[in-house]
Structure formats: structure tokens, C-alpha cells
Structure 1
Amino acid sequence: MQIWAPLMALLVATPAAAQDETSLRQADAAQHEAARTRNADALAAMMHPGFEVNSPEGEMWSRAKTLELWRNRGIGHESFDRTVESVILDGSVGVVAGREVVRPSVDSIAGKRRADGAQPVERRFTNVWLWKEGRWWFLARHANEKSKRPVP
């Protein structure tokens, strides 16, 4: 599977054929694959210099901090599935949103925080993309763990 990671990064770094929903979905799928496989180099290639994430840990992380965490195993998952529920395009901005189910790696920040044996966690996510210089740049992300509703 590692053979595909550099190819996915190249697909995002290469100018897309068009600024449309198909190319936006392809960029987001490449980001998901890079995150799923902990490919920090592929993530770096697609991240805008001003990238920030509102993390599931309740903190804002810069591009530099996010990449450092990917490289040092602070972020990572044993499994990571994503379902896109909404895609919005307006001018040079694209937004992809939906739900994710992750099982944090035990050595990640989330894995160390959780005391549940790395059980699957459902999250909501929003990825913001910027069309610039003929390609999609990963500009911002928000992800939060979905709270469990109390049983009445």
C-alpha cells in the first residue's frame, strides 16, 4: 500500500484538469489516503502554507505542528474510514464535509487520551480547500468527536 502514497501525493501536487467537484473530491480522497497511511510527506505536499486544523483534541494546530505530529506519531489511526456527505464549491473555495470513523493508534495523542482500548470513534469533519495556481490546496480542517447522546 505504501507504493500508492507517493502517487497520491503526485496527483494532488499536479495541476488538476479542472476546478470542479470531481477534482475537489479527488484531492480530498488523496488527503484521506495520506492521513490513513500516516504519509506526512504527501500531506505536506497538499497543505497550504497557512493551513490550520481545529483538532479533535480541542486545540488549533498550525501546519508545522500538524506535520510534526504526523511525523512523530502524535496523530495516527489503526483504521480510518470517511463518508463524504456534502461538497460545496464557490469560486476558489471548496468544502468537503461528512463523518469519519477512526480507531486511534495507541501511540497517538487520541489513543493515549482514551482509556477504551482504542475503540472506534465517530467524528464529524469539515475540510476546506483553496483553488490556487491550478490545483487544490488543503487550507483548513475541523474535526470533532461525536458525543454520545444520553439514553432517555
Structure 2
Amino acid sequence: MTFDIIRGLHILAVIAWMAGMLFLPRLYAYDAEQADKPEPLRSDMRALLREWQRRLLKIIVNPAMIAAWVFGVWMIVLHVQNQGWGFLAQPWMVTKLLGVVALSGWHGFLAGEFKRIQAGTSTKSGRFWRMTNEIPFLIAIVIVLSVTTEWTF
């Protein structure tokens, strides 16, 4: 029962984390596209977009990532207590863990870019953000299919 509750909370945290990481690059794209707008509109819109970026990152994306990691590690600990360490070497679990590291790396990239955008030093275009917007979803596909199929060699 405890494991099922932790797994449910882990899934909810991942959903929130993914939602934020799919929306944040879109806000970055809108911000980057303000450069060719007339000044009064540009300043007002950029201020609003940057506040939305800050709130999304600080209130949703960061806490959701932390919760996903905490519940994920907790599930691993419970699994190890009951069945040992062997499952961590299974190909599907290695793939999942590599996917989680990739998602965390993308999260770090987005957080770093947030600081550059706030400082006005970002060089990324709206096109860049639109092209990379689906990266978390592609990683999630690999993770979810690995976990649901528990594939092996």
C-alpha cells in the first residue's frame, strides 16, 4: 500500500514537472520574439513574460522535479529492501534512469537560460525554443515505454 501511494505521488510530480518543462520554452520563445516589437509594448510584455517564467520555474517546475526525485528514490529504496539491488541493472531501469538524468539536465539548461533571459544576455531565438520545445516529451516517451514494458535483451 505504501509503495502504491508513493508511486502515485511520483507520477503526479512527474506530470507537473513535464507540464512546466513543456510550457517554459514556449514562454522563452514569446520573450525572444518581443525584440522586434515597438518599445512600449515590448517592455510591458517582456516584464509580464519574465514574471510568468519566474513563477513557473520557482513555483511549479523546481518543486515538481524535487518531488519526482524524492518519490523516485523512495521507491527504489523500498524496492531494494524487498527484492535487492538487481533490478537497477535491468536494461529498462538503466534506460529510465538515463532518461531521468537527461530530463534533469534539460531542466538545468532551462533554469540557466532563465537567468540569462532575466539578465538580457540570452542569444537563443524564438525559433530555437520552438524547435527544442518537445525534447522533454521525447525523453518521456522513452522513459514511459521502458517502465511499462520492462524490456530486456
Q: Same fold (TM over 0.5)?
A: no
- Structure with the largest fraction of strand: 1
Scaled by the length of structure 1, the TM-score of the pair is: 0.28
Scaled by the length of structure 2, the TM-score of the pair is: 0.28
Higher relative contact order (CA 8 A, sep 6+): 2
